Structure 1
């Protein structure tokens, strides 16, 4: 592979802002795996945000890239798995698997798509020093004949349209809007774009904790639950962004609530001691050896957290601590409190997106 921009390249990033800024190019914020695609003839590499190749996990995209993209190019985008109900991030996570046979089986069962939104190189030309308006125009031309797996993200410079996208597109699984200054050059690993994401709050039950990796007397994360209609306590996510002093304080505060698994709602006989997790067969897909065991707590304390949106029954991203709710009864923390976005079809965002 010999391109004007060579892998690995960390992608250009965005900083969070509370409102959509004016005078920019706006596009949907796709919720998948960020990836920079490098193609030089038959050589294809799919980079990731942490610069580790994703190529082996998406063989169907390697085939699509050679069929649908220019002979020599470097394109920034997002790998997604579309469904009739929106984006399926959980199916995307399942692709990060060590067994090649399983990866290829899933590639046929839940094929991925690539959403292109920036151009770093085309032919022998390095586009990274050109303004975004030039890169976008060249990207539109480069993808004029792309097919069913490679798609060009929609953009607009109209602020009113961007605000409408922010409200409507969430219903298809997208999680906000990206704003790019029109004259911005491509700056790897720099937060020079802007992102606006949905922010909501929920009152959750604290049902356990994991210890911090550097200390057995400090909280690494608190495990959150919500009650379902049938009274089951479901695992919905974690909070864990605390200063070390607060982690130690929380550890002390949680000790009176420590219980045993026999009396805890997240107890399954199939789990061996030391390997119990809030969900059956849970594992870290990015770190197969990561210990996901936890200390069970009596589900009595209630915490208000901030979150952006749900992925199925769980928070899509790590939630953020807001405040303790000593006035709330744990049993009152149900899914009914969560705001449900309007349903919106992916095909209305990108016509022809296969689901």
Structure 2
């Protein structure tokens, strides 16, 4: 069996780089689980970006990829799940995240109901040959040859060297649930764990209401600030969290937010139970409730349903904004785009 390395990573950029300065290949940025598929001809394993192998969670991929792959190889790619009717399919993060479940029976049920796909975008080994030292352009050529007869659920990601095409992908493919564009230097070797790729994601801002905060894991200061928006019925809904505060800011926030803390008849801070997911495990998700009066501007990339897809970034406080004005109407709406047109 191949030794599965740490995946090569990407650093964020505000704009798509100019390939005239350094030759680049552009790819769609798939919004799924990073996976490294190792197939030695007898056993197939799926490694992840973290320490947890993904093999047991995607039995349908283990079975089907072993049948499709023409020979032993080590692939880098993304595991995704698509939902929706034919002609209007899109990536579904929630359906994908549900696949991480401790019960084998549940895993088997979801494998049948929401089968996953594997989108390959790099070839790290073929047969006994380690391809990681080769430039990406050569690895991509070898990958295209290897997967020339591939069929679903194995897909080869599309690429372009044209910056204008990449700009169009950035605008259009979000409608199919994709996450942006990745730029890969054609001359670079594979660099496990290094951020040598470039990712370009959608950058947007929104004014949101502070709902509460979680105490930092160290026991003092604000770890994350929970934020919300008012829906069409006037209900305030939690839409995500703001984190990545400095140590000094964590302590300052406790003082700044103290006047807004909801308190019971005995003067004790009122706490709420935060949303729990399969990724939080036994983690304490309780939070200190705040009166919904303070408005802040945040930077976000995209929505997943009615929530921000990722942790958002603090931009500034907005003392000039009334909390009731923080509604979903201010958010960008994205035109739908059929996932089949991205895969083709």
Any residues of structure 2 matched to 1:85-100 within 5 Å, and which? 85-100=89-104
Hey, what does 2:7 align to over in structure 1?
A: 11
Q: Is there any run of 5+ residues in structure 2 with no aligned partner, and where?
A: none
Hey, what does 1:339 align to over in structure 2?
A: 332
Residue 79 (structure 1) aligned with residue 79 (structure 2) = yes
Q: What is the CA distance between 1:42 and its match in structure 2?
A: 2.6
Instruction: Report the Cα distance in structure 2 between the residues aligned to 1:275 and 1:61, rounded to whole angstroms.
Output: 40
Instruction: Report the Cα distance in structure 1 between the residues aligned to 2:185 and 2:196, rounded to whole angstroms.
Output: 8
The secondary structure found in structure 2 opposite 1:137 is: helix
Q: Is there any run of 5+ residues in structure 1 with no aligned partner, and where?
A: 263-272
Residue 185 (structure 1) aligned with residue 189 (structure 2) = yes
Instruction: Report the Cα distance in structure 2 between the residues aligned to 1:289 and 1:41, rounded to whole angstroms.
Output: 38
Q: What is the CA distance between 1:274 and its match in structure 2?
A: 7.1
Instruction: Report the Cα distance in structure 2 between the residues aligned to 1:343 and 1:260, rounded to whole angstroms.
Output: 44
Residue 44 (structure 1) aligned with residue 40 (structure 2) = no
Q: What is the CA distance between 1:261 and its match in structure 2?
A: 8.5
Hey, what does 1:297 align to over in structure 2?
A: 290
Instruction: Report the Cα distance in structure 2 between the residues aligned to 1:40 and 1:290, rounded to whole angstroms.
Output: 38
User: Judging changes above 3 Å, is the alpha-carbon distance between structure 1 residues 260 and 149 closer, same or farther for their aligned structure 2 residues?
Assistant: farther
Q: What is the CA distance between 1:96 and its match in structure 2?
A: 1.0
CA contact (8 A) 2:118 2:154 kept: yes
- Normalised by the length of structure 1, the TM-score is 0.91
Residue-by-residue CA offset, 1:229-288 (whole Å, 9 max, x unaligned): 0011111000011101100000111111111589xxxxxxxxxx97712xxxx3232241
Q: What is the CA distance between 1:223 and its match in structure 2?
A: 0.2
Instruction: Report the Cα distance in structure 1 between the residues aligned to 2:310 and 2:35, rounded to whole angstroms.
Output: 18
Any residues of structure 2 matched to 1:183-332 within 5 Å, and which? 183-216=187-220, 218-260=221-263, 276-277=273-274, 282-332=275-325
Hey, what does 1:156 align to over in structure 2?
A: 160
- Normalised by the length of structure 2, the TM-score is 0.94
Q: What is the CA distance between 1:73 and its match in structure 2?
A: 0.6
CA contact (8 A) 1:205 1:225 kept: yes
Hey, what does 1:267 align to over in structure 2?
A: none
Hey, what does 2:25 align to over in structure 1?
A: 25
Equivalent residue pairs, number: 332
Residue-by-residue CA offset, 1:63-105 (whole Å, 9 max, x unaligned): 1210111331100000000123411001111111111111111
Instruction: Report the Cα distance in structure 1 between the residues aligned to 2:264 and 2:292, rounded to whole angstroms.
Output: 12
Instruction: Report the Cα distance in structure 2 between the residues aligned to 1:163 and 1:118, rounded to whole angstroms.
Output: 22
The secondary structure found in structure 2 opposite 1:81 is: strand
The secondary structure found in structure 1 opposite 2:343 is: coil
Root-mean-square deviation over aligned CA pairs: 1.5
CA contact (8 A) 1:284 1:290 kept: no
The secondary structure found in structure 2 opposite 1:157 is: coil
